[in-house]
Structure 1
Amino acid sequence: MDTIFALASAQGKAGVAIIRVSGPLAHDVGKRLCGGDIPKHGTTLRTLRDATGDPLDQALVLTFAVPNSFTGENTVEFQTHGSIAVISVILDTLSKIEGLRLAEPGEFTRRALENGNLDLAQVEGLADLIDAETEAQRKQAQTVLSGGLGQLAERWRRDLIRAASLIEVTIDFADEEVPIDVTPEVSSLLSGVQKDLEQETKGVGIAERIRNGFEVAIIGAPNVGKSTLLNALAGREAAITSDYAGTTRDVIEVRMDLAGLPVTLLDTAGLRVTEDHVEGLGIELARKRAENADLRVFLVEENEALDVEMQTGDIRLLPKADERSNVGNTISGRTGYGIDQLVSHISSVLKMRSADVGIATHARHRDTMNRALENLVEAREILRRGPEFYDIAAEDMRSAIRSLEMLVGRVGVENLLDEIFMSFCIGK
């Protein structure tokens, strides 16, 4: 296997830069740059030198021996000063060493997967952690990265192997009298796994929303203050505001962190009948985005009706509190009146919806678990038909086991790996 190297910290000037080398030649490379022996597993402070002996930089050198490294291979990390010049000259020096090559995006993590240090779900959790912007995203990614989903899948797999084994023993001794009826234990095992899978699949939708962000649409007629409210919530001029109706023609999006949850606010075109073709397209888009949003904030008068239906949890407010004598249940983006209460309300609704989140976080997880569920439902139905159908039930159980193995990347996921690792940066 090749020995690979890359900058593992962010590009650009920094206080410290980390350059990682992993593979069979990693320790030899470390000795070469340090000008002598280095620990097989430990830390040391050394002056790095090029092939001619000229000093490159003073670095803290961390060495890891198989299998106790991130990749499961011999690994050396050079923690150097983070100037662009230092990073460049060290990477150039490494590139000239025979047997080394620059790592591809995600290659360190891919080797960790191939060497059994991470399962596929943990790899996805690591990618999510790198992309995390809010506290909820960080916690969710950490749970997956720590192996939570893999542990669940292994428990389910173990129970299904036990159930299949019991059934296959019955099949093997079909011509003899089996002293114990295994059906109750098998049914109990299948029922337990099925219940867990159903619970986890229900939570994937919310987990995806935490990972990708909730959408909250601001809806109302033209010129009721939607864009002004969006700007007030965003704390900047994200949308153009004017006294002319129809100023907003497209959906304007602002990404925010509300109570640790990722939220995208949508400022939609004012809903009205119009003969302006472009504005009409904006209004139609506004309707679609509003209907598909996780939550809607309606800025409407008391008896006003819009052609977007309110759903459970939606918020209805009177607009432009600054122009009213009675400010109950009103809001004003211009003065800020009611902003804090609105943010609190949105946060509480979304946090309540996030309470049922599971460990599985990706559509791939849901699809794989659903396939296992289908096999379990079929297996339980076939078991009820009697022993002559046990061989078919056993095959359904084996199919469910294969689905769970796909969940954590044990089998059948080679076609997914390139796509997954494309999202990683070089050095990770």
Structure 2
Amino acid sequence: MALRGALRAAGRRWARCLSSSPPGGDTIFALSSAPGRCGVAVIRASGPGSRGALQTLTGTPKLPPPRVLALRRIRDPVTAETLDRGLVVWFPGPRSFTGEDCAELHVHGGPAVVSGVLRALGRLPGLRPADPGEFTRRAFRRGKLDLTAAEGLGDLIRAETEAQRRQALRQMEGELGQLYQRWSDTLTQALAHLEAYIDFSEDDNVEEEVLCQVDGTVRALAQEIGAHLRDGRRGELLRGGVHAVIAGPPNVGKSSLLNLLCQRPAAIVSPVAGTTRDVVEVALNIGGYPLVLSDTAGLREATDPVEREGVTRARDRLCQADLVLAVLDATAVPPGLAGLGSALGALQPPPDTPCVLVLNKADLLRVSGGPLRDTCTQSPPLPPTTLLSCKTGEGLDHLLELLAQQLAQLCGDPLGGSPSLTQSRHSQHLGGCATALARYGQERRRDLALAAEQLRLARRELGRITGHVGTEDVLDIIFRDFCVGK
């Protein structure tokens, strides 16, 4: 009875704390670790009521020191029943993930424990389950993250390869957002100087050389943004995976190659030509880079209507591929460069798409396939070429090495150079920014007010990427740089 009375008293204190909390929205809670049975589950609450919720569930008004784990008994606020004995952490705002007061409960990860604690939180007035992504959305609203960092956080959670993890972590830590913010600050300053010239040049407060400085700034920025857009979609390919297509005539071992690379019978293998009718797709990790590999129907003039549809789909995938694995029968191709080039050309791979030529069935070659092996080392003009036996696994290591090299060229080094574009929306807004900067030069010769509007449009496009779209910054720079009205 004494324990129950203490819990009720803690509940009353929590209610007073909630009623006296500064306005900051409601309090949300959710399981923040992965669902399902696990050793430890993390349940997070964020909002003005998180302090009272932690006091109520632990049955004590004394909170642990900020950001320090403390062992507590966690009880149901209604029945006083012990739900678990776990670790709790208190994060007073603004030094928390969301910028609000936050509490975390690290409990045992059994489904009954997790559901019991979530149910107990739901019984407290003023608390509600969080919507998907709501913790991150609150962090953005309170300036803890910009949109690019929030996207990087989502990519980090979904990362499956080392290269994806490195790129996502770099974006989450703000490098991409800082780049776009630097461009936005540059535009803000150029716009402020241009507007100051328009408004105050007649009073001789702003010299005419300011216009030349603005023109030079806009040209340099347009060149930098253009170079950023011409990155070959490296960031997007790394984020979503490089789409590679296995293409070749029937019965050369395309499905066997897919099974060999993914180490499981993902595709049906048969000596009957035309077995593969549809596209079979698997996701792989090659050298730390993500690869989405598609096995397709054999390329030939088919008479069967179902196979003909498969060949059409194979051609479509071939045109859309980021990388082509062209597979030929090593026993059926001539060893010379001209013969191999002709056989590869018959597959009609896209001219600008990277390609790896795989000569399968090397185990059937006489002796060691010397002439053909010598030809493989002479590329270019051939693409990177390797002999392979899907039956014995001979040549697999060399193929994986060639694939890793191609993926590294397509995706780039996620830790080197300036951060890459990772989202198509970034490309769209940057394209709009580049268009506005190009129009600035046209309007500059006709009307300075229209030229200034183009700079505003360019700045707005950059702000939409990070989520920072403001107007007061321009006035701040005008008065800071020119001291108008002194």
TM-score (norm 1): 0.91
Which of the numbers 81, 90, 97 marks the counterpart of 1:70? 97
The CA distance in 2 between the partners of 1:86 and 1:184, in whole Å, is 68
Counterpart of 1:45 in structure 2 is 71
Which of the numbers 226, 231, 252 marks the counterpart of 1:224? 252
Write the letter of the residue equivalent to 2:434.
L
The CA distance in 1 between the partners of 2:207 and 2:115, in whole Å, is 73
Counterpart of 1:284 in structure 2 is 312
Counterpart of 2:83 in structure 1 is 56
The CA distance in 2 between the partners of 1:280 and 1:224, in whole Å, is 18
Deviation at 1:411, TM superposition (A): 4.1
Deviation at 1:394, TM superposition (A): 1.0
List per-residue Cα deviations over 1:285-328 (Å, max 9, x = no partner). Answer: 11111122111122232333524236353122332111111432
Which of the numbers 272, 283, 286 marks the counterpart of 1:255? 283
Matched, 1:377 2:438: yes
Deviation at 1:32, TM superposition (A): 0.5
Counterpart of 1:90 in structure 2 is 117
The CA distance in 1 between the partners of 2:413 and 2:119, in whole Å, is 50
The DSSP-based 3-state class of the residue aligned with 2:244 is strand
Matched, 1:35 2:59: yes
RMSD of aligned alpha carbons: 1.8
Deviation at 1:90, TM superposition (A): 0.9
The CA distance in 1 between the partners of 2:454 and 2:272, in whole Å, is 64
The CA distance in 1 between the partners of 2:356 and 2:76, in whole Å, is 65
Which of the numbers 127, 137, 146 marks the counterpart of 1:100? 127
The CA distance in 2 between the partners of 1:58 and 1:161, in whole Å, is 54
The CA distance in 1 between the partners of 2:421 and 2:232, in whole Å, is 6
Counterpart of 1:423 in structure 2 is none
List per-residue Cα deviations over 1:219-273 (Å, max 9, x = no partner). Answer: 1111111111111111111111011000100111121101111001211101111
Do the aligned residues in 1 keep the contact of 2:234 with 2:420 (CA within 8 Å)?
no
Counterpart of 1:425 in structure 2 is none
Do the aligned residues in 2 keep the contact of 1:206 with 1:356 (CA within 8 Å)?
no
Counterpart of 1:142 in structure 2 is 169
Instruction: Give the number of equivalent residue pairs.
Output: 409
Which of the numbers 323, 327, 339 marks the counterpart of 1:295? 323
List per-residue Cα deviations over 1:180-237 (Å, max 9, x = no partner). Answer: 4112211221122212211222237221111111122111111111111111111111
Which of the numbers 211, 231, 239 marks the counterpart of 1:211? 239
The DSSP-based 3-state class of the residue aligned with 2:209 is coil
Cα gap change, 1:190 to 1:309, in 2 (>3 Å): same
Matched, 1:311 2:351: yes
Cα gap change, 1:46 to 1:309, in 2 (>3 Å): closer
Matched, 1:14 2:38: yes
List per-residue Cα deviations over 1:30-81 (Å, max 9, x = no partner). Answer: 0011111213623321111112322111111100111111111111000111
Mean Cα deviation higher: 275-284 or 143-152: 143-152
Identity %: 41
Which of the numbers 363, 377, 382 marks the counterpart of 1:322? 363
Write the letter of the residue equivalent to 1:78.
L
Which of the numbers 385, 389, 406 marks the counterpart of 1:332? 389
Matched, 1:25 2:49: yes
Cα gap change, 1:255 to 1:295, in 2 (>3 Å): same
The DSSP-based 3-state class of the residue aligned with 2:412 is helix
Counterpart of 2:455 in structure 1 is 397
List per-residue Cα deviations over 1:103-126 (Å, max 9, x = no partner). Answer: 111111111111111111111111
The DSSP-based 3-state class of the residue aligned with 1:18 is strand
Show structure 1 runs of 4+ deviating over 6 A: none
Counterpart of 1:364 in structure 2 is 425
Counterpart of 1:344 in structure 2 is 401
Matched, 1:5 2:29: yes
Do the aligned residues in 1 keep the contact of 2:237 with 2:410 (CA within 8 Å)?
no
TM-score (norm 2): 0.81
Which of the numbers 465, 468, 471 marks the counterpart of 1:410? 468
Matched, 1:122 2:185: no
Do the aligned residues in 2 keep the contact of 1:160 with 1:397 (CA within 8 Å)?
yes
Counterpart of 1:182 in structure 2 is 210
Matched, 1:198 2:226: yes
The DSSP-based 3-state class of the residue aligned with 1:33 is helix
Do the aligned residues in 1 keep the contact of 2:318 with 2:350 (CA within 8 Å)?
no
The DSSP-based 3-state class of the residue aligned with 1:11 is coil
Do the aligned residues in 1 keep the contact of 2:437 with 2:454 (CA within 8 Å)?
yes
Deviation at 1:332, TM superposition (A): 1.3
The DSSP-based 3-state class of the residue aligned with 1:215 is strand
The CA distance in 2 between the partners of 1:229 and 1:317, in whole Å, is 9
The CA distance in 2 between the partners of 1:42 and 1:394, in whole Å, is 48
Do the aligned residues in 2 keep the contact of 1:144 with 1:360 (CA within 8 Å)?
no
Do the aligned residues in 2 keep the contact of 1:40 with 1:65 (CA within 8 Å)?
no
Cα gap change, 1:280 to 1:25, in 2 (>3 Å): same
Mean Cα deviation higher: 166-175 or 110-119: 166-175
The CA distance in 2 between the partners of 1:40 and 1:318, in whole Å, is 65
List per-residue Cα deviations over 1:84-114 (Å, max 9, x = no partner). Answer: 1111111111111111111111111111111
Cα gap change, 1:225 to 1:172, in 2 (>3 Å): same
The CA distance in 2 between the partners of 1:401 and 1:42, in whole Å, is 39
The DSSP-based 3-state class of the residue aligned with 1:265 is strand
The DSSP-based 3-state class of the residue aligned with 2:55 is helix
Write the letter of the residue equivalent to 1:186.
V
